[in-house]
Amino acid sequence: MVSQPPIIIIGNGIAGITTARHIRKRSGAPILIISKESRYFFSRTALMYVYMGHLKWEHTQPYENHFWKKNRLDLLEETVTEIDPEKKKLTLSNGNTLSYASLVLATGSIPNKFGWPGENLKGVQGLYSKQDLEKLEALSPSIEEAVIVGGGLIGIELAEMLQVRGKKVTFLVREKSFWSNVLPKGESQMINRHILSHGIDLRLATSLSEIIEDENGRAKAIRTDKDEIIPCQFVGLTAGVRPNIDFIKDSSIDTNRGILVNKYLETNLPDIYAIGDCAEQQEPVPGRRPIEAVWYTGRMMGETLAKTLTGEKSAYHPGQWFNSAKFFDIEYQTYGLVAAHPTEPEIHFQWENPAKNLGITIAFNKETNEFIGINTFGIRMRHEIFDQMLTEKRTVLHVVEHLNDCNFDPEFFTSYGGEIIAKFNQEFGTNIRLKKKSWRRIFANLITN
């Protein structure tokens, strides 16, 4: 008797592991997860905390080591070199082959490189994988000065990491302001100031021209597009990531920037699916990008695909956009799609408390007053309530009135709702009042006017 081939998942990041867990919840099908990066699932988002000494490696693993065996999730530390969709077989780097019933590609991302001279020198790297962290840790004692190239979320995290470990950090941001392709101007500038206040040498509107090599093949300095030489022993390349699909390029699986999938997360070939960072939606949700390399979307795709693989064919419906990040000490949350550079009818209401590094931006439709989205800095908000207000297409007036219901700051924190609503009334000539927090509304999951 030949045993049934397993569902094989390539990649044990959040997308692959979520798929595996949800399949196991719904069925007893054999599952094999292949990853060369690490034996056990870890939280990629926690790499920075290990480097800063907040956590140890073991703390990044959301499940204890016995979890996998107990749930019959087989783990294999190997690299897949080839996929044969005809025979439904994989070839591993050790030459072995494996058969699969279904194949899930969840291979994640790799850091972008743009052909900079010297980008492959020793001391030049991105920060994405466990191996990247290990490399950085090994280099660490020999780093005094570091340059980070690329002003996105990984860039600012890497800047914080190195700064915390006592390195002098220069941060090159190509745009005129930090993350200005995502954050509206005022917010982006607040983060610029915060980066500077942490002693980072922030260079806006500056890009990398080349990385200069020392006699041992290691980076010793960089030259900027302004012809400035900045000495450094480490260069962090954080100009975004791209899907990690090089090993698939030669196969018959259709790819563009990522692996092309339909709304069921199916590739062009039967029984092969792609999820997470490496998947590219052929028909993205309106207003959303075809590739969303975000923890949350990876998790949602994993859950969706698990349903499909256990007999309940399900389309990927990511729901209302949300995201979060932390810029040094400033927490950021966003619900809905707030444009960085709004075009009418989208307009923004902004409130800021520069002394406390607090701020919010509420985007809404000038004509209909429909609420479009919110960014908050240093103020926590309830996800469910915003999700619902977006789904129910509430007005901006409704949102501002109910800020007390939305607030998720710890108890006793100062409430700025009154200040915010006063500014709103002043700017828009309205006369709305802040409603008292109501558990009934929060729990009813239904806010009435």
Partner 1 sequence: MKTLQKFGLGVFLSGLAIFCALIFIGKYQLKAKQFDALIAEKGIKSEVFIANIKRNLVDKEFSGPFEFSTRIITALEEANKVHRKKREWSKVIWDKPHSFSYEVAKKAGTGMIPNNKGWFWFLTFGLGIIGSLLYIIPNIITLGPPGIKNNGIFFDSSTNRGFLGWSVFIFLVSFYVLLYFFPDYIVNWTYIVDPISQSLSGNLASQWFLYGYLYCVVMTVMAIRMYIKYRNNKYQILRTTSVLFFQIVFAFLIPEILVRFEKPWYDFKNAFPLDYDFFFSWNLNSLISSGGFGLFILVWGIALTLVIVPVMVYFFGKRWYCSWVCGCGGLAETLGDPYRHLSNKSIGAWKLERWLVHGVLAFSIVMTGFTLYTYFSGTSAVLGIKTQTIQSIYGFLIGSIFAGVIGTGFYPIFGNRVWCRFGCPLAAYLGLVQRFKSRFRITTNGGQCISCGNCSTYCEMGIDVRAYAQKGQNIVRSSCVGCGVCSAVCPRGVLKLENGPVANRTHLPNFPLGNTLNN
The contact set with partner 1 (CB under 8 A) reads: 14, 18, 21-22, 25, 43, 45-46, 49, 52-56, 59-62, 64, 164, 197-198, 295-304, 317-319, 322, 324-326, 328-329, 331, 333, 380-384, 387, 408-414, 439, 442-443, 445
Beta bridge partners of residue 5, listed in sequence order: none
Cα–chain center distance at 132: 17
Give 22 or 348: the residue with its C-beta nearer to partner 1: 22
Residue with tokens 């914080």: 160
143 neighbors 51 (Cβ within 8 angstroms): no
Quote the least distance from Cβ 55 to partner 1, whole Å: 5
Q: Is the dihedral of CA 232, 234, 235, 238 positive or negative?
A: negative
Give 61 or 369: the residue with its C-beta nearer to partner 1: 61
With CA atoms as reference, report the closest residue to 7 among 91, 93, 117, 90: 90
Give 152 or 298: the residue with its C-beta nearer to partner 1: 298
Give 21 or 220: the residue with its C-beta nearer to partner 1: 21
Quote the least distance from Cβ 25 to partner 1, whole Å: 6
Give 25 or 257: the residue with its C-beta nearer to partner 1: 25
Q: For the chain, how are helix, strand and coil distributed in percent, rounded to 5?
A: 30, 25, 45
Q: Residue 386, SS3?
A: helix
With CA atoms as reference, report the closest residue to 186 among 341, 346, 356, 372: 341
Give 18 or 129: the residue with its C-beta nearer to partner 1: 18
Quote the least distance from Cβ 117 to partner 1, whole Å: 35
Backbone angles phi, psi at 275, to 5 degrees: -140, 165
Omega before 30 within 30 of 0, i.e. cis? no
Quote the least distance from Cβ 330 to partner 1, whole Å: 8
The two structure tokens encoding residue 76: 């294999």
Give 116 or 416: the residue with its C-beta nearer to partner 1: 416
Beta bridge partners of residue 332, listed in sequence order: 325, 377
Quote the least distance from Cβ 64 to partner 1, whole Å: 6
With CA atoms as reference, report the closest residue to 333 among 369, 380, 297, 299: 380
d(CA 147, CA 158): 10
Quote the least distance from Cβ 141 to partner 1, whole Å: 13
Give 43 or 79: the residue with its C-beta nearer to partner 1: 43
Give 95 or 199: the residue with its C-beta nearer to partner 1: 199
With CA atoms as reference, report the closest residue to 101 among 116, 89, 119: 89
What's the CA angle centered on 54, arms 232 and 353, to 5 degrees? 80
Quote the least distance from Cβ 371 to partner 1, whole Å: 17
Cα–chain center distance at 78: 25
- The 229-231 sheet, strands edge to edge: 208-213, 219-224, 229-231
Quote the least distance from Cβ 70 to partner 1, whole Å: 10
Give 258 or 276: the residue with its C-beta nearer to partner 1: 276
Quote the least distance from Cβ 399 to partner 1, whole Å: 16
Quote the least distance from Cβ 272 to partner 1, whole Å: 21
Calculated CA dihedral for residues 169, 152, 47, 358, nearest 10 degrees: 90
Q: Is the dihedral of CA 38, 20, 43, 191 positive or negative?
A: positive
Give 250 or 439: the residue with its C-beta nearer to partner 1: 439
d(CA 370, CA 373): 9
Quote the least distance from Cβ 106 to partner 1, whole Å: 13
Give 45 or 120: the residue with its C-beta nearer to partner 1: 45
Beta strands in 176-233 (DSSP E): 201-203, 208-213, 219-224, 229-231
Quote the least distance from Cβ 382 to partner 1, whole Å: 6
d(CA 47, CA 52): 9
